[in-house]
Amino acid sequence: MPLVRIDLRRGKPAAYLAALRNGVYEALRETFEVPENDRFILVNQHVAEEFDCDPGYLGIARGEDLVIVQIFCANTRGVTQKKALYRCIAAKLAADPGLRPGDLFINLVETARENWSFGHGIAQYVEAAVPPR
């Protein structure tokens, strides 16, 4: 059920963007029990003037390749599972497309299950026919 938004500076090739999408999706499948094909990912690229971040907040060195991953999901997972997700995303994106872990910012936004409609104007996750997760 996660909805993923990935924001970064404009200029990366299509293969780089695909690696970001695939790495986040694979990490969600491995750590968050996301079902196969539950894949809703938006990539937004920004010109430099539209992308502002502190290059050293919390002592983490950030460069021009900063990627912000925002994941909207149901509020059903604990801290251990969330930490595993963060580590898994960082490892996958370090492997491909070669993103430095310091250039990865992840934000989870949790919502109640009734706040989701995947189509037809129906809140599928509060209907009896759809299993939880």
Active-site residue numbers?
A: 2
Is the Cβ–Cβ distance between 42 and 5 less than 8 Å? Answer: yes
Angle at which helix 79-95 crosses helix 14-31, to 10 degrees, equals 150
Structure token pair of residue 33: 């029990």
**Cβ atoms within 10 A of the Cβ of 52, count?**
7
**Cβ atoms within 10 A of the Cβ of 92, count?**
20
Contact residues for 27 (Cβ-Cβ < 8 A; gap 6+): 85, 88, 89, 92
113 vs 34: CA distance, rounded Å: 14
User: In terms of DSSP H, where are the helices of the chain?
Assistant: 14-31, 79-95
